[in-house]
Structure formats: C-alpha cells, structure tokens
Amino acid sequence: MATIKVTQVRSRIGAPKDQKQTLDALGLKKNGRTIEHNDNPAIRGMIEKVKHLVKTN
C-alpha cells in the first residue's frame, strides 16, 4: 500500500480545537515532526483540514 509523509510546518497555537485534535489524530504534536501514514481517503481528509499547518511529501 502507498504511504504519505506528513510534516507539521506551522505552530498549532491559535488553531481551533478541532484542528488541534486533527493534528493529534495524525500523530503530530510538535513543529518539524514527520509521520508516515498509509494513503487512504480518511488520512487525505485530515490533511485537507489542516493543510495550512502541514506539508506532505
């Protein structure tokens, strides 16, 4: 299965609670952290919700 790398590039400070929870669900808790997930529609949806805070590779 294909994987997708997600890196948090902006601070979560000041973000709404639901976006913070989405970052937690993705496994991103600090700036600069990179996590790898299987590429599926659920993960793509989470990334879309916080696209201004993360970068994908």
pLDDT reported for residue 1: 83
Give CA–CA dist 42/32, Å, rounded.
22
DSSP, collapsed to helix, strand or coil, labels residue 16 as coil
Give CA–CA dist 1/9, Å, rounded.
26
For the chain, what's the residue count? 57
Domains parsed from the chain with CATH numbers:
3-56 (3.30.1390.20)
pLDDT tens per residue across span 10-57: 999 999 999 999 999 999 999 999 999 999 999 999 999 999 999 998
pLDDT reported for residue 42: 97
pLDDT reported for residue 23: 97
| Among 14, 36, 47, 27, residue whose Cα is nearest residue 55 | 47
